[in-house]
Amino acid sequence: MKKIVVLGGGISGYGSAILAKKKGFDVLLSDAGRIADRYKARLDEWEVPYEEGGHSEELILEASEAIKSPGIPDSAPVVRRLRERGIPVISEMEFAGRYLDGAKCICITGSNGKTTTTSLIYKILRDAGLNVALGGNIGESFAYSVATGSYDWYVLELSSFQLDGMYDFRAHVGVLTNITPDHLDRYDHCFQNYVDSKMRIVRNMTPGDWFVYSGDDEVILRQLPGCDLRMRQLPFAARNTAQRGGGAAGALLRDGRFTAAAGGASVEIDTAEMRIGGLHNAYNAMAAALAALAAGVDPAQVRRSICGFDPVEHRLEPVAERGGVLWINDSKATNVDSVWYALESMKRPVVWIAGGTDKGNDYEPLKAFAREKVHTLVCMGLDNAKLVGEFTGVVPEVISCGSFDEAMAAARRAARAGDAVLLSPACASFDLFRNYEHRGRCFKDWVAEHA
């Protein structure tokens, strides 16, 4: 019997282990840390052997194949040992994709906008009555959904780490929102390595598939000539009007309205009618509309679902307005490009809370908006030296704080009636928080109690 080892006991790992068990493999799940009780309960239910608190290398190296959770870097010793032995190391997506039984996948990746675009596409397909599951970085484990359900469509948000472990997997509709520097610590601090990872979204596509991408993203446009693009292309754009697929297919934003066309169908949407605002959300809506049209959804349904879509939690999420001050949770903005769109969308004077674990950020693109819109920058992190140095002289007041509570109190003191307090960190959260969701929840809880 073929032996499958699953590395990591989070949402990706437990789902992969259960699918492997269902398909008759000899399975071991191994986690160097602690496995959450809710995942243990499901593993026990399926009688999947697991270990936590360390890896039993001798057992792991008996595997025929290993499924690696995306949070585990390729540099981890156990991963290196597997590869030294010639044991294939794949992702959950690669493994679950072998058992789709005719279902199709809409896969969304990009440096920013993935979660909103994925959520939009899922809502459109679900509202249209299609038999659809949500997975990848959000929703349920893709592998667990394959193991326990029967769906016609899977809408999957994919990180670069998940794409790295995909070889034969194929997206029937692939969406690439943008590519900007991020996670360079996992890519030898080489931007091209990260770009190459993102471009794996088009791997194995056929002429019957669809590729939705930003025609305004110069990084993507530079990569296209070197790709084998046999599929149908659907660019979306607001600035680069030449990148609309010859005019017959794709999406174009002009004067606050966009038209999206694919597969002989088209839809026109006034962005003023959308509940989500800002240029970044116009891009997300164009991408979602194209993907849904490619999947065969009626244009009228596409329009209804997009206009009825509420903001995603932790992404420019209005939390409360107290004393004339609007508090906005943008904790998911963990890189510079995401913060650029957040600042671009601000219509009020801003108290900006930023900082955390810097990923090699270049803050230069933010300085024009910071000069124009931000009167106080509150730096929240264990090491604020880079932020303070970059924005001193750009923003009238820069305040360095070493804790969350200190930063929130400083923001409250600095805010005046008519202002927005924007948590948009541009950094990872791991110095003070478990993850960006934890950071966003702490922000919302503090506002509810203290603002």
- pLDDT (tens digit per residue) in 185-204: 777 788 899 999 999 999 99
Q: Name the pLDDT band for 181 (thresholds 50, 70, 90).
A: confident
SS (H, E, C) the chain: CCEEEEECCCHHHHHHHHHHHHCCCEEEEEECCCCCHHHHHHHHHCCCCEEECCCCHHHHCCCCEEEECCCCCCCCHHHHHHHHCCCCEECHHHHHHHHCCCCEEEEEECCCCHHHHHHHHHHHHHHCCCCEEEEECCCCCHHHHHHHCCCCEEEEECCHHHHHCCCCCCCCEEEECCCCCCCHHHCCCCHHHHHHHHHHHHCCCCCCCEEEEECCCHHHHHHHHHCCCCCEEEEEECCCCCCCHHHCCEEEEECCEEEEEECCEEEEEEHHHCCCCCHHHHHHHHHHHHHHHHCCCCHHHHHHHHHCCCCCCCCCEEEEEECCEEEEECCCCCCHHHHHHHHHHCCCCEEEEECCECCCCCCHHHHHHHHHHEEEEEEECCCCHHHHHHHECCECEEEEECCHHHHHHHHHHHCCCCCEEEECCCCECCCCCCCHHHHHHHHHHHHHHHC
* pLDDT score at 278: 84
Average pLDDT of the residues of the chain: 93
CATH for 94-307 is 3.40.1190.10
CA 72 and chain centroid, separation? 17
Instruction: Give tens-digit pLDDT for 421-430.
Output: 999 999 988 8
Portion of the chain with pLDDT greater than 90, in percent = 78
Mean pLDDT across 283-296? 98
* pLDDT score at 241: 64
* Residues sharing a CB contact under 8 Å with residue 246, sequence separation 6 or more, in sequence order: none
Mean pLDDT across 46-55? 95
Q: Name the pLDDT band for 4 (thresholds 50, 70, 90).
A: very high
Mean pLDDT across 123-147? 95
Q: Is 24 exposed, middle or buried (0-12, 13-18, 19+ CB in 10 A)?
A: exposed
Mean pLDDT across 306-330? 92
Mean pLDDT across 400-410? 96
Mean pLDDT across 108-132? 95
Mean pLDDT across 67-92? 94
- Cα-trace Rg, the chain: 22
Instruction: Give tens-digit pLDDT for 221-248.
Output: 999 998 888 999 999 999 876 554 444 6
Portion of the chain with pLDDT greater than 70, in percent = 98
How is the chain split into domains, by residue range?
A: 3-90, 94-307, 317-450
The model carries a pTM of 0.79
pLDDT of residue 324 exceeding 50, the answer is yes
Separation between Cα atoms, residue 293 and residue 116, nearest integer Å:
17
Tokens matching residue 121? 């596409």
* pLDDT score at 265: 96
Tokens matching residue 184? 């360079």
Mean pLDDT across 322-331? 95
Mean pLDDT across 318-334? 94
* pLDDT score at 245: 42
Q: Which fold has domain 3-90?
A: Rossmann fold (3.40.50)
Separation between Cα atoms, residue 340 and residue 58, nearest integer Å:
48
Is the CATH code 3.90.190.20 the one for domain 317-450?
Answer: yes
* pLDDT score at 185: 74
* pLDDT score at 360: 78
Mean pLDDT across 292-321? 94
Q: Name the pLDDT band for 138 (thresholds 50, 70, 90).
A: confident
